[in-house]
Amino acid sequence: MHVRTHFLIPFFLCFLPAYTVAQQAFLYKAQVGPVAASGYHRIELPPDLVGRLHEGLGDIRLYDGRKREIPYVMTRQTGVQATAFITYEVVRKTNVPNVSTTIVVKRPSRQPITALGVESQNTEVEKKATLSGSHDGNVWYALDDGIRLGNNTNATTTATLQTITFPLTDYTYFRLVVNDSTSAPLNIRRIGNYGQTNASAHYTPIPGLQFTQHDSSDHYTYLVLNRPSPARIDRLTIHVSNPAQFRRQAAFGHKFTETVARKRHQRPVLRQSFDPLIPFTLSSTGDTTITLPSVLTEKLCLRIANNDDAPLRVGRINAAQVTTYLTANLQAATTYQLQFGSMLAPGPVYDLAFFNDQLSGTLPIASVSNLTNWSGSPLSTSADESTDPFEFHQIALWVAILGIILLMGVMTYRMLTGMTREQQDA
């Protein structure tokens, strides 16, 4: 007795990856472009999009009209400290033909230094120069009278940076005099030095933030934050309308409501608790802005300790996210699509990430529009949140399970029918 059921195996296996596919499917989409000219563009991501990405922000893909995946580099303008060439201010530049060129520069700080960088156009001409320093720009003191500039070429750029070294000094002004008695002057483009620069973070406002204020009997004020659709908050600014002078200890955290069981025949009671995450001082003489670690707008709360003072009157609270954008090579007159929002989609790996330093500078901006869920409903309200990602994957799982159960039932029925027929034939 043998019942042939191997022909059903392909149908059985087709259900196995159903849940995995559902987990990696993107829930939302948006339109990018078209752009006026081909080349690299910045695609700035709005708060309604960033709020629907998972914690690593890697569940987003860019596709062209032919459904081809377009590589990108994601940048968050968080502000960093870096070493960069700092160009000094040119206070005076004079040229006496066939005699000399004199350049006076001013440093932005009094931090002692031991070198200057002089960038000049490539040349094979060498010139003698002298360097002196001054605290006020009027009285000058010698630093080096044996400098040789020029006679340098660069095969990859049109200019070369030469370093002039000298003893440690804190002069504010420097004067460079180049001898031009034997040839035309050098094309000196800038003078400066390498130093630490602090790039400020850039923020994008998050509209639609709402809050309710509750002044509790325990001498605390609770500000419960909410927004119709999710967003990732990196900064909050609290505007207090009254009183004019205040200094209160505050904390940012989560507020919970829990049911506490009581004795038999007594109704349970609701108890609220607060879990502080980030303490800070709210002061009229200081900054009323708090920086957050990119938190989602879910069960967020600010707690202000009033002590014996009257509660503060908060007029408004402004939220912002760190400006987040994708850099990608876009073609003119082409519409692109962003797909985003997935529980398990891994972050993409593109070669473009290794060339990010070559994509810096001012780039044209490509707009993002028409944010919708997969069925095409706009994401401007909380209506799209009725299909929660977790709920979506749960539904997909149950569909796959029911499909497998149904298939197994059909297989069992056919096996039993085959056995019955074989017994009747016997």
CATH assignment at residue 293? 2.60.120
Judge if 210 and 301 occupy the same domain.
yes
Name which residue leads in pLDDT, 156 or 188: 188
Helix (H) or strand (E) holding 161: strand 159-169
Per-residue model confidence as pLDDT tens digits over 63-112: 998 999 999 999 998 876 566 788 999 999 999 999 999 999 999 888 89
Judged by phi (left if over 0) then psi (alpha if -120 to 50, else beta), residue 79 lies in: left
Instruction: Check whether residue 123 and residue 75 sit in a common domain.
Output: no
Domain boundary at 322, 352, 372, which?
A: 322
Residue bearing tokens 């919708």: 372
110-124, 165-179, 246-260, 303-317: segment of lowest average pLDDT = 246-260
On whether both 217 and 306 belong to a single domain, the answer is: yes
The reply to whether 399 falls in a domain is no
Residue 277 burial (10 A CB sphere; 0-12, 13-18, 19+): middle
Max mean pLDDT among 84-88, 263-267, 411-415 falls in 84-88
Q: Which residue has the higher pLDDT, 16 or 336?
A: 336
Task: Indicate whether 213 and 286 sit together in one domain.
Answer: yes
Q: What percent of the chain has pLDDT over 90?
A: 54
The pLDDT of residue 380: 58
Parallel, antiparallel, or unpaired: how do β-strands 300-305 and 220-226 relate? antiparallel
Measured between alpha carbons, how far is 246 from 251 in angstroms, rounded to an integer?
A: 16
Determine the Cα–Cα distance for residues 134 and 163; give it in Å rounded to an integer: 19
Q: Is the dihedral angle over the CA atoms 178, 180, 182, 183 positive or is it negative?
A: positive
**Mean pLDDT for the chain?**
83
Question: Does one domain contain both 281 and 352?
Answer: no
3-state SS track over 205-231: EECCCEEEEEECCCCEEEEEEECCCCC
Query: Please, which pLDDT band fits residue 401 given cuts at 50, 70 and 90?
Result: confident
Specify the pLDDT at position 327: 95
- % of the chain with per-residue pLDDT over 70: 82
In a domain, 120, yes or no: yes
d(CA 406, CA 422): 24
Mean pLDDT for the stretch of residues 255-262: 67
Residue 414 is assigned to a structural domain of this protein = no
Final residue in a domain of this structure, among 322, 347, 380: 322
Read off the pLDDT band of 294 (50, 70, 90): confident
155 and 72 part of one domain: no
Q: With respect to residue 417, please indicate whether it lies within any of the assigned structural domains.
A: no
Residue from 354, 295, 341 nearest 58 by CA: 341
Task: Indicate if 129 and 237 belong to the same structural domain.
Answer: no
- Alpha-carbon distance 230 to 50, whole Å? 9
User: What are the tens digits of pLDDT across the range 153-172?
Assistant: 777 778 888 999 999 999 99
Q: Is residue 409 included in any domain, yes or no?
A: no
Rg (CA), the chain: 34
Q: Which of 198, 228, 251 is the last residue of a domain?
A: 198
- For 8, the 3-state DSSP assignment is helix
Between strands 336-340 and 28-32, the pairing is: antiparallel
Residue 190, domain CATH: 2.60.120.260
SS3 81: strand
Instruction: Check whether residue 102 and residue 188 sit in a common domain.
Output: yes
Determine the pLDDT at residue 308.
Answer: 93
Q: Are residues 230 and 264 in the same domain?
A: yes
Residues 126 and 230 in one domain: no
Q: Which helix (H) or strand (E) element contains residue 14?
A: none
What does the block give as tokens for 181? 């008695």
- Tell me how many degrees the CA angle 290-292-297 measures, rounded to the nearest 5: 110
Q: Which of 8-22, 24-38, 136-150, 377-391 has the highest average model confidence (pLDDT)?
A: 136-150
Cβ atoms within 10 Å, residue 336: 22
Cβ 194 vs Cβ 212: under 8 Å:
no
Label residue 214 by pLDDT band (50, 70, 90): very high
Residues 122, 125, 127, 133: what is their CA dihedral angle, to the nearest 10 degrees?
A: 0
Same domain, 246 and 313: yes
Residue 58 placed within a domain: yes
Same domain assignment for residues 317 and 370 = no
Find out whether 201 and 79 touch, Cβ atoms under 8 Å.
yes
pLDDT of residue 19: 40
Q: How confident is the model at residue 386 (pLDDT cuts 50, 70, 90)?
A: very low
d(CA 372, CA 220): 40
* DSSP character string of 163-198: EEEEEEE--SEEEEEEE-SSSPPP-EEEEEEEEEEE
> For residue 360, is pLDDT > 80?
no
Phi, psi of 162 (to 5 degrees): -110, 145
Name the residue range of residue 127's domain: 83-198
How many domains does the structure of the chain reveal?
3
Residue 188 placed within a domain: yes
Model-level pTM greater than 0.85? no
Residue 295, pLDDT above cutoff 50: yes
Per DSSP (E only), the strands in 227-379 are 232-242, 247-260, 269-283, 289-296, 300-305, 313-322, 324-330, 336-340, 365-366, 368-373
What gap in Å lies between CA 256 and CA 301, rounded to an integer? 10
> Which tokens sit at 411?
């297989």
Q: Is residue 259 part of a domain?
A: yes
